[in-house]
Amino acid sequence: MKASELTQRQALRTIDGVSFPVIQRIGDNHLVDMTVFEDGLIEAPELMDLAMFEADVRKGRIGTAIPEGETLRLGQAGLLDLEQGDWTLTPDALIERVYGLLAELTPGVDNLVDLQGSATHVVDGQLNWKQTRTRSAPWREAEPDSDSDRHPGRWLWSFERGTEGFDLVQLVLFGGGALSVSGRGGRRFVSLEDFAGDVGKGRYGFPREGDRVTIRGLGAATCSYAAPGPCSGEALIGELRECGRELRGEPTSFHVCRVAADAYWADPTDENLATLRRTYEEVPPHLRRYCGDMDEKDIPIRKVLYGDSMV
């Protein structure tokens, strides 16, 4: 009996969950979007079961507060040194919150995954994951006439200017084009163009020294030092547009630039040079390094466009 002669099958399961911000301690304090899944596993961002999660909370690896004067890193959004903190979530309350969410996701809270203290195990001398799953992604229900049931999304941190400082918000751009903004004021949907207009008007930005910063569900603190990351301000809009292209299955701007670069290297005409310049300058600045290979990045392109002095 040959496999090619038999009926092909596949096993797919969508595992739903919900997420909210917590603090992960790995050297520094990192703000992560922790996901609680209906099967009892937790992604923060490593995969763990409930017992492992509780142990990490008790040991301080997953936290609810920033010690006085320490740094909070927010990925590409930047970093903040925080002081005068008023942190309202305790470790016990965090654990209780997770169990409460799990009860909503899985009535009865039974048949949960138990990783027996580790997400990995050794088989024939090789380290293997006990649970093989990709990183979770946000989603929203698709329109009735859509080809799929759900629109996947990509998320980023940002800050919204409020009456008492800045509120942390989570931005999620979905495949259907909607952009959700979630923070202390709840969740609302806007268009990317309207959001870009609000960024230009100063509604969204990055805190500065002396600003009060509020993180929904955790508390608030005063910023004593702020360093915006590569994905803040106007660069945030460029990043969201790139996410939109990927979600629609379109080439990103740096992929388009790579094609133009290949065309110029093969045939270095003035016309191809002009196309390379246009496509390169359309790439958001923090993504231009991806226009080349892993070793030289975009250096050859910058040399031919601007000369050695600009490298």
- Going by C-alpha positions, the residue among 22, 207, 193, 154 that lies closest to residue 101 is 22
CB 50 within 8 A of CB 42: yes
CA distance 88 to 131: 33
CA distance 155 to 187: 14
Q: What is the pLDDT of residues 281-296, one digit of tens each?
A: 999 999 999 999 989 9
CB 132 within 8 A of CB 68: no
From 159-163, 173-177, 261-265, the region with the lowest mean pLDDT: 173-177
| Residue of 142 and 10 predicted with greater confidence | 142
Give the single-character DSSP code of 201. Answer: T
260 has a pLDDT exceeding 80? yes
pTM of the model: 0.86
